[in-house]
């Protein structure tokens, strides 16, 4: 019989382990005057926040029907928002530890008990391996755990240098290790903040060019022009789009058929939630008789540059593109 543990249960166990170790490690760090232990402990605190955010996101998703009515998309961006602030906190923490490391290089301080420092590093490494086992397959938080394991190895190496060597500069191993941890913290936080920030700024998904999408839609028979095309990401996995489409035939059966084709075009780009606003071309811009190719091309350009369903001048600046 195979025991299946839910993701929420696994995260809960890891949160408990991380909380207990954070308290123990920071206490030992202050006791031994080891900046490397303190730096690793605060890195652990940041990961603890990440685990809590992931756990809360799982709970929120399971109770999606209970989201406030004012949140029309529910809690879709809860985990994304938490990850963004987690990354900002991580970067600020890295800068703080880096500056403290420089201060320790200038004013060197003895590490009182390197043996205890080594033991805490070994315990941290063991707990990280246990956490990695519980979080197997959950790549986002598993990456944090692997980074922490590298920090633990650095703490253990610094402790061994201080413990078994006897030259006067051996205590520089502690601020040196803490500086390495600080650099690792900052390097890991920048991509996280960038990825989350770009999505929060409602950018298009990676690999999706708006001009390509517009060009493909305008090639669909019955579509005269496209404007007000907006594509953005709701979270890491979902993308949305809205578009104004000028058509020559605005009858309901014709538009239903056309909208299906337009949606298939969006599906090809990985966009599965779209809002399509049809617009009827002015009679003088629709081909009458035998218009020349040049006349039709100019008309289409003019139509694409001007929306047929617009607000008055009073609300012009309040539109999304105003």
Q: Are residues 55 and 98 in the same domain?
A: yes
- Whether the CB-CB separation of 213 and 262 falls below 8 Å is answered with no
Question: Does residue 196 share a domain with residue 255?
Answer: no
Q: Is 205 within the bounds of a domain?
A: no
In this prediction, residue 44 carries a pLDDT of: 79
Most confident of the ranges 75-79, 136-140, 237-241: 237-241
Running DSSP on this structure, what letter comes out for residue 136?
Answer: T
Among residues 147, 171, 200, the one where a domain terminates is 200
Q: Taking residues 184-196, what's their average pLDDT?
A: 89
Report how many domains make up the chain. Answer: 2
Nearest by Cα to 311 from 220, 187, 208, 228 = 228
Q: Are residues 103 and 247 in the same domain?
A: no
| CB-CB contact of 191 with 163 (8 Å) | no
46 and 112 assigned to the same domain? yes
pLDDT at 10: 77
For 242, the domain range is 210-318
Domain identity same for 174 and 28: yes
Count the alpha carbons within 13 Å of 110 in the hemisphere toward its beta carbon.
Answer: 6
Q: Is residue 1 part of a domain?
A: no
Question: Which of 138, 168, 200 delimits the end of a domain?
Answer: 200
Pair (193, 299) in one structural domain: no
The sign of the CA dihedral 191, 158, 128, 149 is: positive
- Domain limit, last residue, from 165, 200, 235: 200
Tokens of 230: 């907006």
Q: pTM to 2 decimals?
A: 0.75
Q: Are residues 103 and 134 in the same domain?
A: yes
Lowest mean pLDDT among 92-101, 172-181, 288-297, 301-310: 288-297
Residue 308 vs residue 138, higher pLDDT: 308
pLDDT value for 288:
46
Distance of alpha carbon 167 from alpha carbon 161, whole angstroms: 10
Average pLDDT for residues 41-52, to the nearest whole number? 80
Q: Is residue 76 part of a domain?
A: yes
Look at strands 239-247 and 273-280 and give their pairing: parallel
CATH of the domain at 127: 1.20.1510.10
13 burial type by CB count under 10 A (0-12 exposed, 13-18 middle, 19+ buried):
middle
The pLDDT of residue 122 is 92
Q: Within this chain, do residues 177 and 217 fall inside the same structural domain, yes or no?
A: no
131, pLDDT greater than 70: no
Same-domain pairing of 84 and 12: yes
**Rounded CA separation 231/295 (Å):** 31
Domain check: are 111 and 217 in the same one? no
Average pLDDT over residues 14-42: 89
Give per-residue pLDDT as tens, 84-110: 888 898 899 899 999 999 999 999 888
Give the lowest-confidence range in 22-26, 41-45, 155-159, 258-262. 41-45
Same-domain check for residues 251 and 116: no
- First vs last C-alpha separation in the chain: 62
Checking if the pLDDT of 289 tops 50, the result is no
Quote the DSSP letter at residue 25: H
What mean pLDDT value characterizes the chain? 82
CATH of the domain at 252: 3.30.70.1350
Residue 125: the pLDDT is 85
Pair 186, 221 in one domain:
no
As a whole number of angstroms, the distance between CA 197 and CA 313 comes to 33
Cα–Cα distance, 319 to 28 (Å, whole number): 57
In sequence order, what are the beta bridge partners of 223?
Answer: 247
- Residue 284 DSSP symbol: G
Instruction: Compute the distance between CA of residue 202 and CA of residue 60 in angstroms, rounded to an integer.
Output: 22
pLDDT at 298 over 50: no
Which 3 state secondary structure label does DSSP give 227? strand
């Amino acid at each position: 019989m195979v025991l299946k543990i839910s993701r929420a249960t696994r995260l809960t166990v890891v949160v408990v382990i991380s909380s207990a170790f954070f308290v123990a490690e920071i206490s030992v760090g202050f006791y031994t005057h080891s900046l490397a232990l303190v730096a690793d402990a605060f890195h652990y605190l940041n990961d603890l926040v990440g685990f809590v955010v992931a756990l809360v996101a799982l709970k929120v998703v399971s109770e999606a029907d209970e989201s406030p009515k004012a949140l029309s998309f529910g809690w879709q961006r809860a985990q994304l928002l938490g990850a963004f602030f987690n990354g900002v906190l991580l970067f600020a923490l890295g800068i703080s530890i880096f500056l403290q490391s420089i201060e320790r290089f200038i004013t060197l301080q003895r590490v009182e008990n390197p043996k205890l420092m080594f033991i805490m590093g070994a315990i941290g490494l063991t707990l990280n391996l246990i956490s990695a086992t519980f979080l197997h397959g959950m790549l986002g938080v598993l990456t944090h755990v692997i980074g922490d394991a590298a920090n633990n190895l650095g703490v253990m190496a610094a402790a061994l240098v201080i413990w078994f060597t006897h030259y006067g500069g051996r205590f520089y191993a502690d601020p040196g290790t803490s500086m390495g941890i600080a650099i690792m913290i900052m390097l890991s936080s920048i991509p996280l903040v960038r990825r989350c920030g770009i999505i929060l700024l409602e950018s298009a998904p990676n690999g999706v060019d708006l001009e390509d999408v517009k060009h493909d839609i305008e090639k669909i028979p019955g579509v005269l022009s496209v404007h007000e095309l907006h594509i953005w990401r709701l979270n890491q996995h979902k993308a949305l789009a809205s578009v104004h489409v000028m058509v020559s035939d605005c009858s309901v059966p014709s538009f239903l058929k056309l909208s299906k084709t337009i949606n298939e075009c969006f599906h090809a780009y990985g966009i599965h939630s779209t809002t399509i606003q049809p617009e009827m071309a002015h009679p003088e811009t629709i081909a009458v008789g035998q218009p020349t190719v040049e006349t039709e091309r100019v008309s289409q350009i003019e139509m694409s540059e001007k929306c047929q369903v617009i607000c008055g001048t009073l609300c012009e600046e309040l539109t999304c593109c105003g």
